[in-house]
Amino acid sequence: MSGRRGGCCFSRCGFPSRPPRNTTQVRPVAVPPQPVVVPLSSESELVPCFEGEQAMGEQNPTSWKYTWKITNFTSLTQKKYYSEVFTLRDNAWRILIFPKGNNIDHLSIYLDVADSVELPYGWNRSAHFRMILVDQNNYGYSRIKETEHNFNARESDWGFTSFIPLSEVRDSCNGYLVNNTLTIEAEIFGPQPLAENTQLAEPPANVPQATPTDTFDAYFTNLEEIINAAQSSPTRGGLNASNQKGALLTSEAPTLEEVEKAKLSLKECLSDIFKLNVKDRLAEAMSTLCVAKSGLSLDQQKSVKAFWANFDEFTSDFLTFEQDNAEFELQKLLKDQMYATMKKNHNTHILYKQFLGDLTKEEEELNKKLEEVKSRREKLISDWEILMVESEEAKSGHKDQEKKVSEAEEKKRIAEERMSRSTTAWSNLKTLFG
């Protein structure tokens, strides 16, 4: 990794104004060990980025961007590759790619905590970052995806499994693969927090502690806003049927009988302008009414002639409306289905929160009971240790007493022998003089 630093502002880096496409975070599945590190070219670098036109020096960068150039990309044979490590405020990072896709026909790109196996127990690290596949012909067409994640021992890498189809990467019309070289950038926003210690600190007073549902709550709160916006948004409709009829309610005929016949035909056409063969019947009625000299008012004659003069255009407009209205109804139906799915999922989310609350209470009760069991266990072990000390003292005292008993027994034997001798002498004396 090159240590060269250079100025780079967000706007000057050439990021396109279009929003990033799909930002779905997907963890990579288990893969064989022995990661491969791809050597970097001399052009790879880690540079600070600033908002606006701020100068470097004393200003704090709003983000850091690390560039990784991979040569001979199509010759890579391993399933996954790591970039060299780059460090921001004691946090070691690296880029992880699956050049042939992580079990999918897409280029897979992730941000990885390089020293995750060396960090202390209980570590975690939050990061807001974006991964960029550079279009080397036009940076403005670079593929960008952005996300946030709280890295920990169980999720030490995070990113995008379906970053871009491999077919688009290899397409020579795109500028992603030039001279068989691929350029990937990882931009990490904001100041970098230090890795946390093994013991997790107690939360400050009056500050709510993060829960496992925070991510879900944030997402489904945003989903609820979308649902509410969808409920309050007016639905655009098509043309009013009565207006369609009002625009065509004219009739005329050369004779009274033909007028009545034309009126009847026109009314039938107006009843459903989109029925089969209505155009032909309408044309026949209008052609008759156009040549009528009596039976119609002056306004009716003008209306009929005006319509007949643009007959093909007007009827084409109705046909176009029919097609566009059908498309509108279809798209509206699909939107309503998506809305129903969102609302159902939001309601399920609320139900899941209730379930999690119940499980949390149950977990608290079990933890309390576990603490009681631990306390009783510790008391039992303490009593057991005291018992062992007392037993050891008794064992040592027993050995000492065994020795003393043996010594006392020997003294008693000697005393008995002497007593026996004295008793015999006393008996002889008693016999002789008694």
Q: For position 303, what pLDDT does the model report?
A: 80
15 backbone dihedrals φ, ψ, rounded to 5°: -65, 135
Judgement on whether residues 185 and 255 belong to the same structural domain of the protein: no
Q: For position 75, what pLDDT does the model report?
A: 92
Q: For position 171, what pLDDT does the model report?
A: 92
Q: Is residue 68 one of the residues assigned to a domain?
A: yes
Lowest-confidence segment of 220-229, 297-306, 376-385 by average pLDDT:
220-229
Domain end marker among 194, 214, 231: 194
Domain end marker among 264, 279, 309: 309
Confidence of residue 353 (pLDDT cuts 50, 70, 90): confident
CA distance 142 to 145: 10
Confidence of residue 44 (pLDDT cuts 50, 70, 90): low
Q: Is residue 232 one of the residues assigned to a domain?
A: no
Judgement on whether residues 175 and 298 belong to the same structural domain of the protein: no
Q: Is residue 430 one of the residues assigned to a domain?
A: no
The proportion of the chain whose per-residue pLDDT surpasses 90, expressed as a percent, equals 32
Q: For position 105, what pLDDT does the model report?
A: 93
Q: What is the mean pLDDT of residues 72-96?
A: 91
Query: The CATH number of the domain where 15 resides is what?
Result: 2.60.210.10
Q: Is residue 41 one of the residues assigned to a domain?
A: yes
Judgement on whether residues 160 and 81 belong to the same structural domain of the protein: yes
Overall domain count for the chain: 2
Confidence of residue 309 (pLDDT cuts 50, 70, 90): confident
Q: Are 170 and 119 in contact (CB under 8 A)?
A: no
Inform me whether the pLDDT recorded for 425 exceeds 50.
yes
Judgement on whether residues 178 and 103 belong to the same structural domain of the protein: yes
Judgement on whether residues 57 and 150 belong to the same structural domain of the protein: yes
Confidence of residue 232 (pLDDT cuts 50, 70, 90): low
Q: Is residue 58 one of the residues assigned to a domain?
A: yes
Q: Is residue 27 one of the residues assigned to a domain?
A: yes
Inform me whether the pLDDT recorded for 190 exceeds 70.
yes
pLDDT tens, position by position, 109-126: 999 999 998 899 889 999
Judgement on whether residues 150 and 265 belong to the same structural domain of the protein: no
Amino acid at 81: Y
Q: What is the mean pLDDT of residues 149-160?
A: 92
Judgement on whether residues 45 and 141 belong to the same structural domain of the protein: yes
The domain in which residue 263 lies consists of: 249-309
CA distance 42 to 4: 10
Judgement on whether residues 89 and 154 belong to the same structural domain of the protein: yes
Q: For position 60, what pLDDT does the model report?
A: 72
For residue 44, count CB atoms less than 10 angstroms from its CB and return exposed for 0-12, middle for 13-18, buried for 19 or more. Answer: buried
Q: For position 252, what pLDDT does the model report?
A: 43
Judgement on whether residues 169 and 299 belong to the same structural domain of the protein: no
Q: Are 148 and 131 in contact (CB under 8 A)?
A: no
Inform me whether the pLDDT recorded for 204 exceeds 50.
no
Q: For position 365, what pLDDT does the model report?
A: 92
Q: What is the mean pLDDT of residues 223-238?
A: 62
Q: Are 156 and 124 in contact (CB under 8 A)?
A: no
Judgement on whether residues 281 and 138 belong to the same structural domain of the protein: no
Q: Is residue 73 one of the residues assigned to a domain?
A: yes
Judgement on whether residues 177 and 271 belong to the same structural domain of the protein: no
More confident residue, 373 or 285: 373
For the chain, report the end-to-end CA distance as a whole number of angstroms: 123
Judgement on whether residues 180 and 274 belong to the same structural domain of the protein: no
Taking CA atoms, 161 is separated from 58, 103, 106, 110, 432, in Å, by: 38, 9, 7, 8, 124
Q: Is residue 102 one of the residues assigned to a domain?
A: yes
The DSSP line for 313-356 is HHHHHHHHHHHHHHHHHHHHHHHHHHHHHHHHHHHHHHHHHHHH
